[in-house]
Structure 1
Amino acid sequence: MLLFCPTCGNVLHIEEGTISLRFACNTCPYICNINRRVSSRTYPKLKEVDDVLGGSAAWENVDSTEERCPKCSHPRAYFMQIQTRSADEPMTTFYKCCNSQCSHNWRE
């Protein structure tokens, strides 16, 4: 957790004072004693595959191929390839079932 100086806006660092720990600014004389335990924990919301690929509009103009859906065994699926890793790694192929009732997403 980062705390910022209310005077100049720089990041506060923790230093050991005469009695206890305190927040201090490197650029101005701001000091704030730490009287209680300071903690904060936030977990980011994980994105769905469609959000990462550009939403439902990303699947509008894609081709289909003969790839069996692992969920409903439909014989065709839409596909797109995206470079998700470094350039020396192969592209990742994403599939979406052509069956409108299933629409299962998976990747190779």
Structure 2
Amino acid sequence: MLLFCPTCGNLLTVEEGNQCYRFACPTCPYVHNITRKISSKQFPKLKAVDDVLGGAAAWENVDSTEEKCPKCEHNRAYFMQIQTRSADEPMTIFYKCCNPQCGHQWRE
């Protein structure tokens, strides 16, 4: 917790006085004795996580290909290619099983 001097506006420092701690200004003679515990906590608000692949709508208009599902061994899967790394790296292929009971997703 940062406190500022009401006289000159500088940051107050904590120093040990006569058997107690006190806030003191380094540039002017302002001193304020600490009589009770002072604490304050503020936690930052976290941003909402965005779905990198576009959510459920990303799989609506994709093509299918012959690819074996590693979970149910169905022989067709939907696929899409996304550039997830730098431009000199190959694109990442994301698959989703065409079997409606499975729907397993994996990447290659």
Q: Secondary structure at the match of 2:78?
A: strand
Q: Secondary structure at the match of 1:52?
A: coil
User: 1:36 aligned to 25, 36, 39, which one?
Assistant: 39
Number of residue equivalences:
81
Inter-CA distance 18–57: structure 2 relative to 1 (3 Å threshold) = closer
- Structure with higher Rg: it is 2
**Residues 1-108 of structure 1 correspond to what in structure 2 (within 5 A)?**
17-19=13-15, 35-36=38-39, 38=41, 40=43, 51-108=51-108
Shift of 1:35: 2.7
How far is 1:88 from its partner?
1.2
The 1:18/1:93 distance shift into structure 2, 3 A limit, reads same
Q: Provide the rounded CA distance (Å) in 1 between the counterparts of 2:75 and 2:97.
A: 9
CA 1:60–1:88 in 2, change beyond 3 Å: closer, same or farther? same
| Alignment match, 1:29 | none
2:64, 2:106 → 1: CA distance?
14
Q: What is the alpha-carbon distance in structure 2 between the residues aligned to residue 17 and residue 95 of structure 1?
A: 59
Normalised by the length of structure 2, the TM-score is 0.58
Listed as ranges, the gaps of 5+ residues in structure 2 are 2-10, 16-20, 24-33
For the structure 1 residues 18 and 55, does the alpha-carbon distance in structure 2 shift closer, same or farther, using more than 3 Å as the test? closer
Which residue does 1:9 correspond to in 2?
none
TM-score normalised according to structure 1 size: 0.58
Distance 1:72-1:54 versus aligned 2 partners, 3 A rule:
same
Give the secondary structure class of the aligned counterpart of 2:52: helix
